[in-house]
Amino acid sequence: MSEPRHTLHIVSGKGGTGKTTVAGALAMALATGGRRVLLCEVEGRGGLAELFATTPLQGDEERRLLRTPAGGEVFGLSVDARDALTEYLASFYRLGLAGRALDRFGVYDFATSIAPGLRDVLLTGKVYEAVRRRTKGRPSSYDAVVLDAPPTGRIATFLNVHEAVSGLARVGPIHSQADSIMSVLRSSRTVVHLVTLLQDMPVTETLEALEELRPTGIAVGTIICNMVTPTPLTTETLAALEARPELHVPGLPPEQNEALAREFADELSALRDEQGCYERLRPAGLPLVELAHDPAGVDRAALHTLAGSLAEQLPEEVG
């Protein structure tokens, strides 16, 4: 097992594209060869626990979600802004009584909900801490951290912690914390993966997110097309087919044959739409990964299939 190419994988995507599933599959793929991987969520939705069919991740627990035959492990962490603030204050300032007073007067709630950008700094700060832990060689260190990040509409703001706290603190501890986080996010060890469906809106949002991320200096590594309709038809075959090909299934009554041809024409047009969306993503010049739609829904077995598919298509990333 080699050192992974990136130690921090940030997975974003439009809501409904399955970014949590892809983040889970990516963590699994990274762990397959025997690595220790931390999978973080930051939106308090309990999506990871749901994905791995386990009880909700609470507080600052980093619980093992999965162990691979080669000894690799995936741990789950649900980062909560309030806990992160408590931890941050406890480790940097010995506030003692004042800390409790802050809590009692609702300062924590206020700070983590409406202080501009503070919430995002706290959340990314906790992830940053987990990433850096390995360099200190502590026993709970990880080989890689996968972040199930906020959706594409918010990703640039979320990661651009510098910008976020500029209205809040120009100097001081929060500012230098933001500096350190930013330098890790911009380093060659960090990569963003954007998850999309091959549909109009998600593709548009993906392209917009690419534009918005560009000035932040944070690298986007791949675009992951999720729930792609599996088909034995190649692009060329599809292009050569007429819109509504005639079918002659032996033994099928004419009206059923006709209905099947109509249904197939709908399927073909859906495939062509997907193809069109794929073509819109090409000029971005990034590796495009395709994950097949699993009509049976997402469970552990499906996650393994997706992880295998990622490993196959991104050998230098997760191999």
Partner 1 sequence: MTTRTAASSEHLAWGRPAGSPFLDVDALLADRGKNIVICCGSGGVGKTSVSASVALRAAEQGRRVVVLTIDPARRLAQSLGVAELDNTPRPVRAVDTSAGGSLEAMMLDMKRTFDDVVTAHASPEKARQILSNPFYQALSTSFSGTQEYMAMEKLGQLSADLGLGRGGAERARWDLIVVDTPPSRSALDFLDAPEHLSSLLDGRLLRLLLNPGRGPVRMMSVGLSLVTSAMSKVLGGQVLSDVQTFVAAFETLFGGFRQRAEATLANLASPHTTFLVVATPEPEALREASFFVERLGDEGLPLAGVVVNRMSGSAVPLSPERAWAMAEDLPPETLEAVALRTHATRMHQVLRQRAAVRRFCTANTGMPLTTVPALPGDVTDLTDLRQVGDLLAARDE
Q: Looking at 28-36, 129-137, 170-178, 308-316, which segment touches partner 1 (CB under 8 A)?
A: 170-178
Of residues 10, 48, 84, 115, which one binds partner 1 by CB under 8 A?
115
Please name which of 188, 205, 187 lies closest in space to residue 196, comparing C-alpha atoms.
Answer: 205
CB atoms under 10 Å from CB of 234, counted, come to: 9
Query: How many residues form the binding site for partner 1 (CB under 8 A)?
Result: 65
Please name which of 113, 217, 205, 208 lies closest in space to residue 161, comparing C-alpha atoms.
Answer: 217
Please name which of 63, 73, 64 lies closest in space to residue 32, comparing C-alpha atoms.
Answer: 73
Residue 141 lies near partner 1 (rule: CB under 8 A)? no
Of residues 265, 284, 292, 302, which one binds partner 1 by CB under 8 A?
265
Work out how close the CB of 32 gets to partner 1 at its nearest, in angstroms, rounded to a whole number.
27
- Residue 101 or residue 239: which is nearer to partner 1 going by CB? 101
Of residues 169, 185, 192, 307, which one binds partner 1 by CB under 8 A?
169
Q: What is the largest CA-CA distance in the chain?
A: 83
CA distances from 302 to 201, 215, 314 (A): 25, 36, 18
Please name which of 179, 157, 175, 177 lies closest in space to residue 166, comparing C-alpha atoms.
Answer: 175
CA distances from 191 to 4, 13, 118, 288 (A): 12, 14, 23, 15
Please name which of 249, 214, 307 lies closest in space to residue 25, comparing C-alpha atoms.
Answer: 307
Q: Please tell me the distance from the alpha carbon of residue 284 to that of residue 197, in angstroms, as a whole number.
A: 16
Q: Which residues contact 240 (CB under 8 A, 6 or more apart)?
A: none
Work out how close the CB of 222 gets to partner 1 at its nearest, in angstroms, rounded to a whole number.
23
- Residue 32 or residue 206: which is nearer to partner 1 going by CB? 206
Residue 59 lies near partner 1 (rule: CB under 8 A)? no
R_g over Cα of the chain:
23
Residue 239 lies near partner 1 (rule: CB under 8 A)? no
Work out how close the CB of 40 gets to partner 1 at its nearest, in angstroms, rounded to a whole number.
17
Work out how close the CB of 175 gets to partner 1 at its nearest, in angstroms, rounded to a whole number.
9
- Residue 114 or residue 188: which is nearer to partner 1 going by CB? 114
Work out how close the CB of 78 gets to partner 1 at its nearest, in angstroms, rounded to a whole number.
14
For residue 123, which amino acid is it? L
Residue 247 lies near partner 1 (rule: CB under 8 A)? yes
Residue 238 lies near partner 1 (rule: CB under 8 A)? no
- Residue 187 or residue 264: which is nearer to partner 1 going by CB? 264
Q: Which residues bind partner 1 (CB under 8 A)?
A: 15-16, 45, 89, 93, 95, 97-99, 101-102, 104-107, 109-110, 113-117, 157, 167-174, 199-201, 204, 231-233, 241, 243-245, 247-252, 256, 259-267, 269-270, 272-273, 295-297
